[in-house]
Every structure is written in C-alpha cells, then in structure tokens.
C-alpha cells in the first residue's frame, strides 16, 4: 500500500503486536487478503456477481492460490479479526 499511497498504513505492522501485548486475545481468525486485496483494483468489478464463468474462475483461482501460499507459510495473511479484552488487574500474561 505504501507504494500507491504513502499515507496509508504507515505504521500498520505495529498494530497487531501492540494489541497482543496490551490485550488478552479471546478469538483470532486470519482472513488472507494478501493477493486479492492488491489485485482488486485491476479486476473489472462490473463482472462480479453476474455469473460470468471466466471472471468467477479467475477470482476463485486467486483465492485458492492465496490460501495455499498462506497456509504453506510462503505469504503472510494481511487481515485478522480479533476479539480482545482488557487484562484483569494483576493477571499474569502467558506471552
């Protein structure tokens, strides 16, 4: 993102470790996005959800490749959903 918009996500890499440092994570789910998020502007979104087999196949292929690369540890996941809570006073962290 920095190449296309230097003001976007300037310190975003620090958010995840800081949240895990200061909160107790109760639920964590990674949502990929590494490839498709970057390619989305290049796709003709007018073809989305119209049953266009070629468009749907390309998107499904990108999603599959992204999933395999992330699960294989080749790429990181760009998005995560967290449910956190403030630590109890005096509670020991398990980090």
Report how far apart, in Å, the C-alpha atoms of 56 and of each of 21, 41, 47 are: 40, 16, 8
Specify the pLDDT at position 83: 96
Specify the pLDDT at position 59: 84
Specify the pLDDT at position 6: 60
Specify the pLDDT at position 66: 93
Specify the pLDDT at position 28: 94
Classify each residue of 49-78 as buried b or exposed e, where b means 16 or more C-beta atoms within 10 Å of its C-beta. Answer: eeeeeebeeebeeeeeebeebbeeeebebb
pTM: 0.64
The residues of the chain scoring below 50 in pLDDT are 1
Specify the pLDDT at position 53: 78
Specify the pLDDT at position 3: 61
R_g of the chain, CA atoms, integer Å: 18
d(CA 55, CA 19): 37
Domain boundaries, the chain: 12-85
């Amino acid at each position: 993102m920095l190449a296309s918009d230097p003001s976007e996500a300037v310190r975003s890499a620090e958010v995840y470790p800081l949240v895990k440092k200061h909160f107790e994570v109760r639920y964590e789910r990674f949502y990929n996005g590494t490839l498709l998020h970057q390619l989305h502007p290049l796709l003709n979104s007018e073809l989305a959800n119209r049953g266009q087999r070629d468009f749907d196949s390309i998107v499904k292929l990108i999603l599959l490749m992204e999933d395999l690369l992330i699960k294989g540890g080749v790429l990181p996941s760009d998005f995560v959903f967290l449910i956190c809570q403030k630590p109890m006073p005096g509670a020991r962290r398990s980090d």
